[in-house]
Structure 1
Amino acid sequence: MLRSLRPRSGTALKTLKPSMPQQRVRMLHHKDDGKSTDASTQPDAAATTLTDKYEHKRLSNVPKTAKGYEATWLNALAERQKQLAQGKIIDSYVYSSVKSTEVGEKTRKDSFAYLALPFREDASVADFYVNAAGRLRMGQIFQDLDALAGRIAYRHTSPAQPVIVTASVDRIYLLKSIDFMADYNIVLSGSVVWTGRSSMEIAIKATAIKGDLPAEITEDSLAAEDTFLTASFTFVARNPETHKSLAVNKLLPLNEKEWMDFRRAESHNAAKKLRASNESLDTNPPTGEESKIIHNMWVASKELSKLSHKPPNVMSMKDTNAKSTMFMQPQYRNRHSYMIFGGYLMRQTFELAYCAAASFSHAFPRFVSLDSTHFKAPVPVGSILHMDATVVHTEHLFDRSSKPKVTTVTHKSADGNTVFHFDSSPVNELSTQKGALLSKPGTLIQVKVDTIVQELASEKKNSSGSFIYSFYVHRDADEKTIGKPGYTTVIPETYSEMIEYISARRRAIDTAAYANTLRRNNKL
């Protein structure tokens, strides 16, 4: 479930800045007059206070209930205890009833919304979105994408006020990298592109503009060639009184492009269900080609186990594991108060996946895609979230412009002796698109993050879903703070790990097909 952002003019969404000046925070120290430059009078906690306040204001436009009460956690907690005492189940503190259940028609323009991130114009905004390598911190963007998608969903379902549930993140894909983010103003924008009875598919794109922001931002005012990221979300509407699905307004496409997008999304939803049943390794054994890859990995794992000094750019799958456990606090709840904001979960899983990929490659990885992710269970405030990240697949992109086709990587030990040859059978090709991320030799690293929710009132732990992130590491990374990673390789050792690898390879094939279709449809 999602939380909406504060509206700007019309359909716009406003970028918020910290409203608590630094000099106010200095008052935490009784000797500080607000003008002193003495570091001893400026507590380090000031930075944390400012950041937390900024995050809370940016992500939580706390609405009021019908009775005029602010939806603070203390008010929501008291209301839930009151309702539970009466034997009622409460899904939303903000919406206790549905204003209307009448189903009408709406256009894409009716749900269009955007969020402007003026990095070029405001360095303080950029500083909240930059990572250690000086590039765009994607975890922050994921929070905004999810919040914006929620805003779009509520615009489409109005005047009804259902509980909106995130069913899935169907794909987030980076078309090209933004290396110098301070040179751009970023606009995230989107609308509903398909509807079922109670479900909606929302398409969002991120646009990087080198000049000033347009005076009026519409779907047509953002040039396709400036698009650097695409995202697709599926939401389901629920009745907060009956807890059952709630019909949403039907989408009315108005032109050829809107009809094509509608039919494409409809076809995608049907194919997604078919693929989930036909491609699962739980019911469909590996193909002949995949069995050969499994045998190659078994041979490689045997060779690797015999070495006393392993190559620095080869690692067993089990050694790539990274874990994190977090208590779910109310500061990151969604607009209905009782569950954690989906964008916050995406951000946390991404950060852990990034840690796993960075530790594995000894480099600053670049985000490529988030594969289809289904939210199996919500994450309540007051629960414990366990996250488990593992590198499950690597594939190598080669420069084939002046050489015969190559698929095998030779890894060498520290003394220069050949260790083993490994054929990962890559499924992606180097992109010929100017400025594309995958245009140079390197390694694609796929990280799977499994999430488990533990509620304090029960011994039971439930899976909340798996997040699949893909990263790219340039073979000859030239950042001054790191070395040259070369081609990095993960080696599964057990049969279950090899099945994870083959499942990941199938996802990589889907991602490659999606990227090719995207470029063809958008002529990128």
Structure 2
Amino acid sequence: MSSTVGAALLRLTSRSACSQLRAPVLSTTSRRNFHGSPSQRTDGVFKELTSMRVRTPWVEAFRKQEKEGKQAAEPSGKPEVPKNRNLKAKHMNDSYHSVVLPLAQDPWLLDTYLNSSGHIRLGTIFMDLDALSGIIAYKHTGEDVTTVTASCDRITINSPLTEICDLQLSGRVTYATGRSSLEITMQVAKAPLKGESVKDEEVLINCTFTMVSLDPGTKKPVNVNPLIVKTQEEKRLYALGERNSQIRKERRDTSLLKHTPNDLESDLIHAFWQKQLQYHDPYNDLRQPENVVFMDATRLRTATIMQPQYRNRHHFMIFGGFLLKQTFELAFTTAAAFSHKRPTFVSLDPSTFQNPVPVGSILYLTATVVYTDPPLIDVADEKTNQNSEYTRVQVRVDSKVRDVEHGHSKPTGQFNYTFTVPKNIRVMPRTYQEFMYYIDARRRAEQVKRTLNEGFGLSARKAEESLTE
């Protein structure tokens, strides 16, 4: 199949070249000028962020693969990272990179960032942030290694965007101990005037990504340059990176895949089971309220074939930012379908990229509302406002990939998005798997609350004012 495609590509390009050689020369009076849209090599990522992503046309990468007769996803097994590679410690600012999206100046660029209601599509911004993280990572590690996105630790809205303006995306490596992983901190802000710096109140988005460096030949982790930390601000950022690393370890150690729910969570599961019995007891007057929706009724699914326009710099795997955009937009749609209201984005909570997604494979996404806050049932010693005007909705998006022939499948990531909706609505689990989803989401929600108490994020009413969606 692949050799047939390769031959077809060769015939197509050779015929095009021959037709150009034989084309008759038109007189100046009969010549017609045709105009087309500018060529676009990628799937919408801002052009200044594609330099580290796509360096070779797909047709050339495909021909090379055909000639070598091997699958690009398969490691060669031979180490390619030089043994004498320079691992000298670096400063944070050595990896600093920024780019300005001239949205206020370029209406055609703005056209690719707006949705039908005139709001900036956050999913497209997330895609740009992932591209930026790649540039920053390679500035720190050099290009001898393969650096991939391991997780997105947080993306939060810091301040509302009240007008369409130029946006500055910037970031740097803020945590690296010398092992294979590094944390990158980025922000999106209103672009400052020349000679001025960004003000805190003009920062729209804060986020952190964790990247891992691999040997291109063996696909095994390799060490990267550690960081030199000197200033108070650098020490603060480095300490946050240490804390995030510790939180990730604690989350793995206490995962529901390894341990049963604790006593409080077990009591909560029992309370939900009792509530279900009450709803269906003919001798009980309690019935399922109109604002309570069973979890399985909130589920939405998509299936998409992965085209080469979505590839990363290694040509045969899908760019992580594309997955962020797809999962965000499905999560947004799920929250909207659940509440019948327009959701407002709060945060992307800790999410993982488990396995790469090959070009040409089928990506399956499943989104589910797994938690609402205020919850339907309070735990002991917890009092919530059950009449709250707004509900915080957590949507879990699970992704898996299959080859076109649907032979093998594997999970590729879990993404956790939180929105607010202007409605009093609750989700209710009723199977054991749904209870585990609910408990896991509840733990994440508690972490989100702690972060918001530390000063990150917006109130639901304030967030609605932002021209982002």
Deviation per CA, 1:79-107, whole angstroms, max 9, x where unpaired? Answer: 2233345999568xxxx876972111221
2:63 equivalent among 61, 69, 78 = 78
Residue type at the aligned position of 2:359: V
Change over 3 Å in CA distance of 1:246–1:177 after alignment to 2: same
Is 1:365 the counterpart of 2:343 in the alignment? Answer: yes
1:391 equivalent among 352, 369, 390 = 369
Is 1:149 the counterpart of 2:138 in the alignment? Answer: no
Q: Considering only aligned residues, what root-mean-square deviation do their CA atoms show, in Å?
A: 3.5
- SS at 1:505's partner residue? helix
- SS at 1:262's partner residue? helix
- SS at 1:282's partner residue? coil
Deviation per CA, 1:14-33, whole angstroms, max 9, x where unpaired? Answer: xxxxxxxxxxxxxxxxxxx8
Deviation per CA, 1:94-122, whole angstroms, max 9, x where unpaired? Answer: xx876972111221111111121233344
Residue type at the aligned position of 1:515: L
Confirm or deny: 8 A CA contact 2:44 2:112 kept in the other structure. no
Confirm or deny: 8 A CA contact 1:376 1:464 kept in the other structure. yes
Is 1:470 the counterpart of 2:418 in the alignment? Answer: yes
- SS at 1:423's partner residue? coil
- Quick one: distance in 1 between partners of 2:364 and 2:301? 8
- SS at 2:230's partner residue? coil
- Quick one: distance in 1 between partners of 2:218 and 2:42? 35
- Quick one: distance in 2 between partners of 1:517 and 1:62? 35
- SS at 1:450's partner residue? strand
Equivalent runs, 1:425-464 vs 2, <5 Å:
441-456=389-404, 459-464=407-412
Equivalent runs, 1:278-317 vs 2, <5 Å:
278=254, 280-302=255-277, 304=279, 313-317=291-295
- Quick one: distance in 2 between partners of 1:56 and 1:185? 16
- Quick one: distance in 2 between partners of 1:387 and 1:116? 32
Change over 3 Å in CA distance of 1:305–1:81 after alignment to 2: farther
What's the CA shift for 1:385? 0.7
Confirm or deny: 8 A CA contact 1:374 1:465 kept in the other structure. yes
Confirm or deny: 8 A CA contact 2:145 2:213 kept in the other structure. yes
**Partner residue in 2 for 1:162:** 145
Residue type at the aligned position of 1:76: A
What's the CA shift for 1:194? 0.9
TM-score normalized by the length of structure 1: 0.71
- Quick one: distance in 2 between partners of 1:300 and 1:181? 46
TM-score normalized by the length of structure 2: 0.78
Change over 3 Å in CA distance of 1:458–1:170 after alignment to 2: same
Change over 3 Å in CA distance of 1:286–1:54 after alignment to 2: closer
- Quick one: distance in 2 between partners of 1:78 and 1:446? 44
Confirm or deny: 8 A CA contact 1:428 1:509 kept in the other structure. no
- Quick one: distance in 1 between partners of 2:213 and 2:365? 27
**Partner residue in 2 for 1:381:** 359
**Partner residue in 2 for 1:39:** none
Is 1:423 the counterpart of 2:356 in the alignment? Answer: no
What's the CA shift for 1:242? 3.9
2:166 equivalent among 167, 185, 205 = 185
What's the CA shift for 1:366? 1.1
**Partner residue in 2 for 1:493:** 430
Structure 1 range deviating more: 246-255 or 347-356: 246-255
1:510 equivalent among 443, 447, 463 = 447
Deviation per CA, 1:315-360, whole angstroms, max 9, x where unpaired? Answer: 2110101000011110110011010000001111111111111101
Change over 3 Å in CA distance of 1:305–1:176 after alignment to 2: farther
- SS at 1:289's partner residue? helix
Deviation per CA, 1:458-484, whole angstroms, max 9, x where unpaired? Answer: 72210111111111112xxxxxxxxxx
**Partner residue in 1 for 2:19:** none
Confirm or deny: 8 A CA contact 2:45 2:128 kept in the other structure. no
Is 1:128 the counterpart of 2:106 in the alignment? Answer: no
Residue type at the aligned position of 1:517: E
What's the CA shift for 1:134? 3.2
Change over 3 Å in CA distance of 1:371–1:56 after alignment to 2: closer
Is 1:173 the counterpart of 2:110 in the alignment? Answer: no
Change over 3 Å in CA distance of 1:519–1:450 after alignment to 2: closer
Confirm or deny: 8 A CA contact 2:58 2:315 kept in the other structure. yes
Confirm or deny: 8 A CA contact 2:75 2:219 kept in the other structure. no
What's the CA shift for 1:454? 0.8
- Quick one: distance in 2 between partners of 1:241 and 1:54? 28
Equivalent runs, 1:333-352 vs 2, <5 Å:
333-352=311-330
- Quick one: distance in 2 between partners of 1:129 and 1:463? 29
Deviation per CA, 1:429-468, whole angstroms, max 9, x where unpaired? Answer: 99xxxxxxxxx94011111111111124772210111111
- SS at 2:268's partner residue? helix
- Quick one: distance in 2 between partners of 1:354 and 1:121? 28
- SS at 1:153's partner residue? helix
- Quick one: distance in 1 between partners of 2:45 and 2:236? 39
Is 1:55 the counterpart of 2:44 in the alignment? Answer: yes
**Partner residue in 2 for 1:195:** 176
- SS at 2:411's partner residue? strand
Is 1:207 the counterpart of 2:189 in the alignment? Answer: yes
Structure 1 range deviating more: 383-392 or 447-456: 447-456
Confirm or deny: 8 A CA contact 1:394 1:424 kept in the other structure. no
- Quick one: distance in 2 between partners of 1:130 and 1:352? 17
Structure 1 range deviating more: 107-116 or 462-471: 107-116
Structure with the larger RCO, 1 or 2 (CA within 8 Å, 6+ apart): 2
- Quick one: distance in 1 between partners of 2:193 and 2:354? 40
- Quick one: distance in 2 between partners of 1:310 and 1:131? 36
Residue type at the aligned position of 1:117: L
Confirm or deny: 8 A CA contact 2:370 2:441 kept in the other structure. yes
Q: How many residues align?
A: 415
- Quick one: distance in 1 between partners of 2:244 and 2:91? 20
What's the CA shift for 1:492? 1.3
Change over 3 Å in CA distance of 1:249–1:294 after alignment to 2: same
Change over 3 Å in CA distance of 1:143–1:63 after alignment to 2: closer
Confirm or deny: 8 A CA contact 2:175 2:242 kept in the other structure. yes
**Partner residue in 1 for 2:299:** 321
Is 1:356 the counterpart of 2:340 in the alignment? Answer: no
Stretches of structure 1 lacking an aligned partner (at least 5 in a row): 1-32, 36-41, 65-69, 397-406, 408-421, 431-439, 475-485
- SS at 1:487's partner residue? coil
**Partner residue in 2 for 1:24:** none
Confirm or deny: 8 A CA contact 2:131 2:321 kept in the other structure. yes
**Partner residue in 2 for 1:119:** 103
Deviation per CA, 1:350-383, whole angstroms, max 9, x where unpaired? Answer: 1111111110111111111111112111001011
- SS at 1:459's partner residue? coil
